Structure 1
Amino acid sequence: MGLCASCHLSHLTTKDGRLMTNWSTTVKVINSGDGRLQEFKQPVMVSHVLSGHPAAFLCSSDTMFVGCHVPQMPGNEELQMGQIYFLMPLSNSNNPLSLHELCSLAIKAGLALQTEA
């Protein structure tokens, strides 16, 4: 996904120009529906994140491409520090990702990360 290029940076700049240095020290999960950001300060299992979301799946932002199905992460996989993940409704798992949907997710991620700063 286009916004993934920035997920490996060790620092970002906040809205007021301060340097944000903890980018790679958390796992970030963005809800694709409402854009809310969940952050975890240690690696966490997919099954833990999904425990409160029975009608959803997790996917890595690195695996999202226009025209392709979004791969669901297995419950026994550990989320990696410094990465961005999306919580997606199961109803989206059977449809290829459109450019419009990908752009919408990128905007939600950008807003969530800005709000965090």
Structure 2
Amino acid sequence: MGNCAISPSYRKGNGGNNNNNFKRPLTVKIIHLDGRLQEFREPIEARNVLSQNPNCYLCSSESMFIGSQVPHLAKEEQLQQGQIYFLMPLSKSQAPLTLQDLCSLAIKASSALPKLTPQPPFKYQVVATPPPAGFCEVPTGFQVPARR
């Protein structure tokens, strides 16, 4: 993927000197069924979120694998800052995660998460160039020959 952007909401580290070392306060991020983002500045127990969403379970974005059941977080588990969690319907708790499910969750997350915009000055400028004829772009940044 290779692109990097920095939001104006980032705070400068190191006392405000202009060294492009930015930090954003970490939050617990929860993506709801409707795609809404909920953030907490402090760690929170899963039970606090689940009590407001009784027909759902919570799962970590890092424990989702195609073809496997998505593990439920225990009600006592502390949700960690900097992590993304998804509320999932209890009706899907026994079904293995499909590629379509994972894509749907990725779309929800990318729509819900704040968009990062560049904050000048940057040392380098990123310039997008079109791929050579006969090639297509893939998200990893590698060039793959197009199928004919």
TM over 0.5: yes
Spell out the pairing of 1:33-44 with structure 2 (5 A cutoff): 33-44=33-44
Name structure 2 gaps, 5 residues minimum. Answer: 11-22, 118-148
- Which residue of 2 is the match for residue 84 of structure 1? 84
2:28 counterpart of 1:27: yes
Q: Percent identity?
A: 51
User: Partner letter of residue 82 of structure 1?
Assistant: G
Q: Between Structure 1 and Structure 2, which shows a larger proportion of helix residues?
A: 1
Shift, 1:28, TM fit: 0.1
**Contact kept? 1:12, 1:19, Cα under 8 Å:** no
| Higher relative contact order structure (alpha carbons within 8 Å, sequence separation ≥ 6) | 1
Runs of 4+ in 1 over 6 A off after TM superposition: none
CA distance in 2, matches of 1:85, 1:56: 12
Q: In 2, are the aligned partners of 1:26 and 1:40 still within 8 Å (CA)?
A: yes
Q: Give unmatched runs, 5+ long, in structure 1.
A: 1-10
**C-alpha displacement of 1:19:** 6.5
TM-score by structure 1 length? 0.79
Q: CA RMSD in A?
A: 2.1
Larger Rg: 2
Note if 1:60 corresponds to 2:60.
yes
Residue 70 of structure 1 aligns with which residue?
A: 70
Q: Deviations over 1:6-40 (max 9, x none)?
A: xxxxx9534xxx46442x51000001x21000000
Between the two proteins, the alignment pairs up a number of residues equal to: 102
Q: Under a length normalisation based on structure 2, what TM-score does the superposition of the two structures give?
A: 0.63
Deviation string, structure 1 residues 17-75 (Cα, Å, up to 9, x no partner): x46442x51000001x2100000000000000111111100000000010000000000
1:67–1:98 contact (8 Å) kept in structure 2: yes
